[in-house]
Amino acid sequence: MEIIVTNNYEELSRKAGEIIDSQLKKDSASVLGLATGSTPLGTYKELVMSYEKGETDYSFVSTLNLDEYVGLSPDHHQSYRRFMNEHLFDQINIQKGNTYIPDGKADNLAEECERYEQVIDEIGPPDLQLLGIGENGHIGFNEPGTSFESGTHVVELTPSTRQANARFFDTMEEVPTHAVTMGVQSIHKSKKIILLASGKRKAEAIRQLIYGERDEQFPASSLKEHRDLTLIVDREAYALVNEKG
């Protein structure tokens, strides 16, 4: 694991953007694994700025998103398809047909999980996967207790994860209870992983990631075995790393 400690969230976002830009310059047909949520927003802003300066080209890039809420249509204001369109895809020259996100409205979710896993293998695996980490150690929507051998699957979201996402919805009742997510094993297919963590709320999770053992009750711990993992973390999120107790 390579660890890059930055002074703040803005510097973290710039560093992540630089690594992704470097990947695109190395291979203009790269496959990017992408995440949603508040943590990667700054990174996406950096990617858009780089594109607007003419420094990157997405004409031949493909993307694979980690997850989508069950029950939300692509045009729902809180769907991850809409999130990606608004914060990245609509602002760069990527072909929308090359952007892949699970279908949370599929009639048969089991079949959708199988289909998406096939897409990962056929389109990818990602050359570079962007990840965030939950306060409980979740990656994607792989909650504590998820098998490290899991492929794309439907997961019931824990109360803590739903509570963390409630700020994006008008009421708690509107927060979906399930999601389709790449599994831990699916994520590990990626050639390179960038894990982002920002803010003091993530400090305990980062401490546990670095000092703890691999444990399915803390899904992010599986990443310790990945062949090419870079953790980019700001000082607030890194604050407990030297406090093993």
Q: How many CA atoms lie within 13 Å of 3's alpha carbon, on the beta-carbon side?
A: 13
| DSSP H helices in the chain | 9-26, 41-52, 80-87, 109-123, 159-165, 184-188, 203-211
Give the per-residue pLDDT at 245.
42
By residue count, the chain amounts to 245
Q: How far is CA 186 from CA 13, 39, 40, 195, in A?
A: 25, 21, 20, 15
Task: Count other C-beta atoms under 10 Å from residue 237's C-beta.
Answer: 28
Give the per-residue pLDDT at 174.
87
Q: Please give the Cα distance from 152 to 184 (Å, whole number).
A: 8
- The pLDDT confidence band at residue 242, using thresholds 50, 70 and 90, is confident
The mean predicted confidence, pLDDT, of the chain is 95
Q: What is the DSSP string of 129-152?
A: EEEE--TT--BTTB-TT--TT--S
Q: For helices 80-87 and 41-52, what crossing angle results, to 10°?
A: 40
Q: Please give the Cα distance from 11 to 232 (Å, whole number).
A: 10
Proportion of the chain above pLDDT 90, given as a percent: 88
- The pLDDT confidence band at residue 244, using thresholds 50, 70 and 90, is very low
Catalytic residue IDs: 67, 136, 138, 143
The pLDDT tens digits for 113-165 are 999 999 999 998 999 999 999 999 999 999 999 999 999 999 998 887 788 87
Give the per-residue pLDDT at 162.
85
197 sits in which H/E element = strand 193-197
Give the per-residue pLDDT at 1.
93
Look up the pTM and report it: 0.93
Give the per-residue pLDDT at 29.
98
Q: Please give the Cα distance from 175 to 61 (Å, whole number).
A: 32
The pLDDT tens digits for 36-51 are 989 999 999 999 999 9
Hey, what amino acid is at 172? Answer: M
The pLDDT tens digits for 55-113 are 999 999 999 999 999 999 999 988 999 999 999 999 999 999 999 999 999 999 999 99
Q: Which of 224, 210, 68, 208 is nearest to 152 (CA)?
A: 68
Give the per-residue pLDDT at 243.
54
